[in-house]
C-alpha cells in the first residue's frame, strides 16, 4: 500500500459507539483461506477497519465492530465472503447521532 | 384477509413517509425496522432540501422538525496536500424558507418522522430485521417473514436503504455494481453551539455551513470530503468510490478521514472537540443507470433501495428523493388497495408519477455525470495542485520583481495541458 501511512487506531473511535454484540452468531463470515488480493480490498474499503493483517502477515476479521454498511458485501460478496446478513433482532450497532 | 393493508420495510425517510400517507388514507400499515428505534441503523451527511417535506407537512409541523441548522454558507474547496482553495457562497436566495436546506442527524430526524406517521395511525415494530418475502403460487408478494414469524399484507413497500438484502427477492435485483457505489465514513464532533457558529462565521446558532472538499480529501481517489454544522456538533466525513478504493493504491477510507481531520484547513474547525460517534454507510451514486425495477406484483421500492440517490462530487442528494418517492409510493399503494389491484398493473402508476416528478427527471438528467466524474482524475489530483500553484504565484510576495499574472499562470496551466482543461470543461458541460 505505497508510502501512505496508517496513523489511526480506528478501534478507539469504535469504542465510543454503542453496540449490542451477538456473541453467538457472526453475521459476516469469510471463506477459509481467502485470497490475499481480495482481502486487501476489504482492508481498504471497510470504514471500521475490521479486516486486518498484522506484521507477520496474519489476517483477522472481527464482526463485533461492524457498522452494517454492506460495503464488504458489494465488493467481495461473490468472492471471499461466505455469509453476509444483518445481525439478529436488536443486535449490532446503535447510532445516537447518525 | 391479509393481516395489514400494507407493510413497509425500513423506518428511514422513504419508509416513514410512505407509512404516513397510507395512514392518512385510512389504511392499516405496519412498519418493520431492524434498528431499536427509527434512525438507529442510519447515517447520512447530511443536509436535507426542504422542498419535498413541504409537500408532506404543514409549516407548523415543519417548525417542530428537529432540523439542526439552516445552511446559509455553501463552501467548496479544492484541496491539495499542502494547500486549500475555498469558495464561500452565501446569498439571500439561498436562505429563503421555501427552498432552504437544513443539516440533519438521522437518529433524531428519523424518530420525528416515525412519530408523525404513528400519530397518523401507522404501527411500528422495532429491532426486527425482515429476512424474506412471502409469495403466493403466482409469485406475487403477499407478506414478509422474520425468523419464525410471517405477516401478510395487500402490498409490501421496500424502503430498506442502499444495502437492500430484499430487492433480489422482490424484483430480481442482485446488487449494485461496486463502481456505482460509494462508501461513506463519518465522525461526529461535539462542540458548544456558539463555538461552531463562530468557527464557520455563521450569523447565529440557527445557521451554519455545508462544506465539500475535492482532491486531497480522498488522496486523489474518486470522492470527496464533507462537513456539515449541526447545532451542537459537526459532522465530518469522506465519501469514496468503492471500486476506486478497493482497486486503488490508496490508504483505507478511515485513514482518509483521519488525514482530512489533520489537514491545516480542517483541523481548526474541530479543535478541542470530542469524537462522539464513528459511522459508515453506503451511497448509491449511479442514479438511473443502476436502478432496479420499481414495482412487481405486490411490491414497490422507494428511496435508496431503488438507488434514488446522486453523488455529484460536490453534493450527495438522496433524502429529498426518498421523501418524495415515499410519498408517491404510499399514495399509490393506497389507491391500488382501494381499486383491489395490487398486481404490477395496479402499482405501475407509482412509476408514472415518479417519471413525471423531479425525482426521475433529475436522475435521468445526471445519468452521465458519475461516469464522467469517475474518469475525471484531474479533478481529484491535477486541479487542486494547479489552484495552489496559481494562488501561490498571485499571493506569495518575496521581493523578486513582479511578473505579469499571465506569465506566472500560463506555465502552471501548461503542466496540466490546455487541451485537457478544455476537454474537461466540455465534458462537464455535457454531463451536467
Ligand atoms: C455519507 C453520506 C452522506 C450523505 N449526504 C447526504 C446529503 O447531504 N443530502 C442528502 O439528501 N442525502 C445524503 N445522503 C443520502 C441519504 O442519506 C439517503 O439517500 C437517504 O437516507 C435514503 O433514505 P431511505 O429512506 O431510502 O433509506 P435509509 O435512510 O437508509 O433507511 C432504510 C431503513 O431501512 C432499515 N432496514 C434495512 N434493511 C432492513 C430489514 N431487512 N428489515 C427491517 N429494516 C431494515 C434500516 O435500518 C433503515 O432504517 C448521504 C448518504 C451518506 C451515506
Ligand atoms: S458491513 Fe461495513 S463495517 Fe461491517 S465489516 Fe463490512 S465493510 Fe466493515
Q: What is the mean pLDDT of residues B35-50?
A: 96
Which of A26-30, B302-306, B341-345, B389-393 is the least confident region? B389-393
Q: Are A97 and B185 a contacting pair at CB < 8 A?
A: no
The Cα of B251 is separated from the nearest Cα of chain A by a number of Å equal to 6
User: In this predicted structure, what is the pLDDT of residue B376?
Assistant: 66
Please state the ipTM of this predicted complex.
0.96
Q: What is the mean pLDDT of residues B223-241?
A: 96
Residue of A68, A71, A78, A79 to mutate when probing chain B, most B C-beta within 10 A = A71
Tell me if the bond preceding B190 is cis, omega within 30° of 0: no
Residue of A44, A48, A83 to mutate when probing chain B, most B C-beta within 10 A = A44
Is-contact B344 B335, C-beta < 8 A? no
Same domain, B131 and B29: yes
Answer with the one of B365, B388, B415 that is the final residue of a domain: B365
Residue of A61, A63, A70 to mutate, ligand 2, most atoms within 8 A of C-beta? A70
Nearest neighbour of B255 by CB, restricted to A6, A74, A92:
A6
Unique residue bearing C-alpha cell 436546506: B101
Q: Which CATH number goes with the domain that contains B113?
A: 3.50.50.60
Q: What is the mean pLDDT of residues B185-208?
A: 97
Greater pLDDT, B288 or B66:
B66
pLDDT at A3 over 60: no
Cβ(B12) to ligand 1 under 6 A?
yes
Q: For residue B346, is it within any domain?
A: yes
Among chain B residues, the shortest Cα distance to A95 is held by B40
CA distance B173 to B170: 8
Q: What is the mean pLDDT of residues B47-51?
A: 95
pTM of the predicted model as reported, rounded to 2 decimal places:
0.94
Is-contact B331 B6, C-beta < 8 A? no
How many structural domains are present in chain B? 3
Q: For residue A2, is it within any domain?
A: no
Same domain, B140 and B229: no
Give the Å distances, CA to CA, from A62 to A11, A67, B165, B187, B290.
Answer: 11, 12, 22, 21, 31
Residue of A22, A63, A68, A74 to mutate, ligand 2, most atoms within 8 A of C-beta? A68
Return the ligand number nearest the Cα of B183: 1
Answer with the one of B365, B392, B413 that is the final residue of a domain: B365
Task: Count each helix (H run) and each strand (E run) in chain A, helices first.
Answer: 3, 6
Q: For residue B81, is it within any domain?
A: no
Q: For residue B89, is it within any domain?
A: no
pLDDT at B377 over 80: no
Among chain A residues, the shortest Cα distance to B244 is held by A45
Segment B141-171, tens digit of pLDDT: 999 999 999 999 999 999 999 999 999 999 9
pLDDT at B340 over 90: yes
Same domain, B20 and B123: yes
Greater pLDDT, B221 or B119:
B119
Q: For residue A4, is it within any domain?
A: no
Instruction: Give the N- to C-terminal CA distance of chain A in Å, as an integer.
Output: 31
Same domain, B29 and B135: yes
pLDDT at A78 over 70: yes
Q: For residue B85, is it within any domain?
A: no
Same domain, B393 and B315: no
Q: For residue B98, is it within any domain?
A: no
- Among chain A, residues having any CB pair with chain B shorter than 8 Å are 1-2, 4-8, 10, 13-14, 16-17, 41, 43-49, 67-71, 73-75, 77, 85-90, 92-98
Answer with the one of B326, B342, B365 that is the final residue of a domain: B365
The residue whose C-alpha atom lies closest to atom 35 belonging to ligand 1 is B10
Chain B residues inside the 8 Å CB shell of A4: 219, 250-251, 255
pLDDT at B370 over 70: no
User: In this predicted structure, what is the pLDDT of residue B375?
Assistant: 59
Same domain, B152 and B190: no
The Cα of A5 is separated from the nearest Cα of chain B by a number of Å equal to 7
pLDDT at B425 over 80: no
Pick from B153, B178, B154, B156: nearest CA to B166: B156
pLDDT at A24 over 90: yes
Q: Which CATH number goes with the domain that contains A17?
A: 3.30.70.20
Give the Å distances, CA to CA, from B42 to A13, B65, B69, B104, B280.
Answer: 17, 18, 19, 12, 9
User: In this predicted structure, what is the pLDDT of residue A1?
Assistant: 41
Radius of gyration of chain B (CA): 23
Cβ(B309) to ligand 1 under 6 A?
yes
Q: How confident is the model at residue B404 (pLDDT cuts 50, 70, 90)?
A: confident
Same domain, B25 and B142: yes
pLDDT at A61 over 70: yes
Strand, helix or coil for residue A64: helix
Alpha helices in B235-318, H assignment, sequence order: 242-246, 253-262
Segment B258-291, tens digit of pLDDT: 999 999 999 999 999 999 999 999 999 867 889 9
Give the Å distances, CA to CA, from A45 to A65, A74, B92, B97.
Answer: 15, 10, 40, 39
How many structural domains are present in chain A? 1
Within 10 Å of residue B58's Cβ, how many Cβ atoms? Answer: 8
Unique residue bearing C-alpha cell 424558507: B97
Residue of B160, B300, B312 to mutate, ligand 1, most atoms within 8 A of C-beta? B160
Same domain, B205 and B258: yes
Q: Which CATH number goes with the domain that contains B201?
A: 3.30.9.90
Q: For residue A65, is it within any domain?
A: yes
Q: For residue A26, is it within any domain?
A: yes
Give the list of residues 6+ apart from residue B232 with CB closer than 8 angstroms, or none: B190, B191, B192, B193, B196
Q: For residue A3, is it within any domain?
A: no
Q: Which domain holds residue A42?
A: 10-94
Q: For residue B96, is it within any domain?
A: no
Same domain, B215 and B258: yes
Segment A36-47, tens digit of pLDDT: 999 999 999 999
Q: Which domain holds residue B168?
A: 4-66+104-174+289-365
Same domain, B168 and B314: yes
Alpha helices in chain A, H assignment, sequence order: 10-14, 36-45, 71-76
Percent of chain B with pLDDT over 90: 76
Same domain, B280 and B207: yes
- A92-94 and A18-20: which strand pairing? antiparallel
Same domain, B163 and B191: no
Amino acid at each position: 500500500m505505497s508510502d501512505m501511512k496508517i496513523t489511526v487506531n480506528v478501534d478507539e473511535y469504535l469504542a465510543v459507539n454503542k453496540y449490542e454484540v451477538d456473541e453467538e452468531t457472526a453475521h459476516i463470515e469469510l471463506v477459509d483461506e481467502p485470497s490475499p488480493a481480495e482481502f486487501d480490498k476489504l482492508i481498504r474499503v471497510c470504514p471500521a477497519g475490521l479486516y486486518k493483517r498484522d506484521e507477520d502477515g496474519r489476517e483477522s476479521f472481527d464482526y463485533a465492530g461492524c457498522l452494517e454498511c454492506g460495503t464488504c458485501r458489494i465488493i467481495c460478496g461473490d468472492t471471499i465472503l461466505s455469509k453476509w446478513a444483518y445481525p439478529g433482532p436488536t443486535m449490532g450497532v446503535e447510532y445516537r447521532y447518525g | 384477509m391479509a393481516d395489514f393493508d400494507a407493510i413497509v420495510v425500513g423506518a428511514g425517510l422513504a419508509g416513514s413517509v410512505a407509512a404516513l400517507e397510507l395512514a392518512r388514507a385510512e389504511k392499516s400499515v405496519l412498519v418493520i425496522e431492524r434498528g431499536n428505534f427509527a434512525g438507529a441503523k442510519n447515517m447520512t451527511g447530511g443536509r436535507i432540501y426542504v422542498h419535498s417535506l413541504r409537500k408532506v407537512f404543514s409549516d407548523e409541523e415543519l417548525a417542530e422538525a428537529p432540523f439542526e441548522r439552516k445552511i446559509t454558507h455553501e463552501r467548496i474547496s479544492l484541496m491539495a496536500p499542502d494547500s486549500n482553495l475555498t469558495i464561500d457562497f452565501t446569498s439571500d436566495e439561498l436562505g429563503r424558507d421555501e427552498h432552504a436546506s437544513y443539516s440533519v442527524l438521522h437518529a433524531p430526524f428519523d424518530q420525528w418522522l416515525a412519530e408523525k406517521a404513528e400519530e397518523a395511525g401507522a404501527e411500528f415494530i422495532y429491532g426486527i430485521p425482515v429476512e424474506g418475502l412471502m409469495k403466493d403460487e403466482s409469485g406475487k408478494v403477499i407478506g414478509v417473514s422474520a425468523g419464525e414469524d410471517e405477516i401478510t399484507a395487500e402490498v409490501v413497500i421496500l424502503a430498506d436503504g442502499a444495502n437492500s438484502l430484499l430487492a433480489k427477492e422482490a424484483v430480481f435485483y442482485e446488487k449494485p455494481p461496486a463502481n456505482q457505489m460509494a462508501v461513506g465514513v463519518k465522525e461526529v464532533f461535539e462542540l458548544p453551539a456558539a463555538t461552531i457558529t463562530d468557527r464557520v462565521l455563521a450569523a447565529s446558532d440557527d445557521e451554519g455551513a455545508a462544506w465539500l472538499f475535492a482532491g486531497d480529501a480522498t488522496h486523489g481517489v474518486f470522492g470527496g470530503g464533507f462537513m456539515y454544522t449541526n447545532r451542537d456538533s459537526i459532522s465530518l466525513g469522506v465519501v469514496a468510490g468503492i471500486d476506486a478504493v478497493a482497486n486503488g493504491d490508496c490508504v483505507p477510507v478511515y485513514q482518509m478521514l483521519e488525514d482530512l481531520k489533520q489537514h491545516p484547513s480542517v483541523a481548526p474547525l474541530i479543535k478541542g472537540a470530542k469524537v462522539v460517534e464513528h459511522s459508515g454507510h453506503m451511497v448509491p451514486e449511479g442514479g438511473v443507470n443502476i436502478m432496479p425495477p420499481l414495482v412487481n406484483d405486490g411490491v414497490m421500492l422507494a428511496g435508496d433501495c431503488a438507488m434514488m440517490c446522486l453523488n455529484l462530487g460536490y453534493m450527495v442528494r438522496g433524502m429529498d428523493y426518498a421523501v418524495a418517492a415515499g410519498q408517491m409510493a404510499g399514495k399509490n399503494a393506497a389507491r391500488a388497495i382501494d381499486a383491489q389491484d395490487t398486481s404490477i398493473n395496479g402499482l405501475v402508476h407509482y412509476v408514472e408519477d415518479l417519471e413525471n416528478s423531479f425525482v426521475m427527471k433529475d436522475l435521468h438528467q445526471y445519468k452521465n455525470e458519475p461516469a464522467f466524474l469517475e474518469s475525471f482524475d484531474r479533478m481529484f489530483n491535477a486541479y487542486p495542485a494547479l489552484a495552489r500553484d496559481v494562488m501561490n504565484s498571485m499571493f506569495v510576495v518575496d521581493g523578486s520583481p513582479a511578473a505579469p499574472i499571465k506569465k506566472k499562470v500560463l506555465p502552471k496551466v501548461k503542466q496540466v495541458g490546455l487541451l485537457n482543461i478544455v476537454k474537461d470543461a466540455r465534458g462537464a458541460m455535457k454531463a451536467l
